[in-house]
Structure 1
């Protein structure tokens, strides 16, 4: 009888870091359930199937409890050995100028959906005392995000949540890893309406490299990893620079029209 391969769930896997994380899992011998809230998830699944592992895909909006239920149902009761909670949304412009429904969608996707999913899958991992959880936070979580106020705040929550959950599980065989990338070459900046900003037009990290760093950290059971030496410097500086100064610095990167200055 052939031994069953380990099983991973990757959210936000249609493009960008999520798709690259799914590739890492496939190359690492995991069967996969990949999830996104857009039909492109089927295209991603077709490409990943060339790796020779089993790939299932589900389109689900993880900003809703129903979407999380849909994802869990799609596992068909199979033991989840690795949960890579990567789904996320961004939103640029000043908070009071943003559509509040769009802002709430960022919160519901990044925070509420992630918490619901980790609670559902994490409880099963704890019961059997085995599993790996990777949560995609961000270096943005260390900085008050002028003109990305809601997004940065959600990433601050995820960073903190990851560290706390890891400590709570330290006496188990369940590991929690927080991947904290900096600006990365993905569709994020277009979707967040940040293409007219300095950060939107600046050179960015490679999504494949970021994903590999995060995947390796998860497999090694590391607590957190910041990808890229510039981002490591940024997070170190954020611990000593006053919050008001950090917010002012972020304005220079994210204020609309800053790409021209």
Structure 2
């Protein structure tokens, strides 16, 4: 069985983590497939929006512990090389993707699985889904970018509480604290995320890319650099076909047609 399913439809690429019998826990095979597929998607002009979801009852339970235990018991000299080889590249690809990335959180998102959802731009969450950062319970720290993404979503203090105490977060709580974008009924997370992605795929995707770039830059720099980034981005976007089309459509009182150029 293929551990990662890839489906393209009308400019939207959907990645489905496909190990439902293991709650889509992350083996080396699955991590490598997702890493490489995301990297390919970055440069694919036919893809204008991305959805990430899981098969079955879970979004992703995080690292496959059977594989991790096997590495520890074999005296692997670097059992955590997966962080540099898999997790970090996956999160870099999601956050730097020059198109919207939407997580359809259909069930439990734990550990690295939750971290992947935090790295996405938007999160559509099923009503029975939960988020869990339980690294502290096994003597580990957060990985897959959660130490950076989660505090920016919900604040430093709340992120510290969830990580130190390994507190599960319900879908409703996730929306209330800014962790999730929208809660939908069970079974509707994927269709809702794909519908949203389809709408965004017809939008000014170059503008979306610059918004993502500006926010990433501003998150790690001072005001002057953020202002400079905004200046450069606005100048570049002002010369795009999409911007001119939007202005012309506004004047003509019609719906604009965006091409991503």
TM-score (norm 1): 0.30
TM-score (norm 2): 0.30
Report the structure number with the largest CA radius of gyration: 2
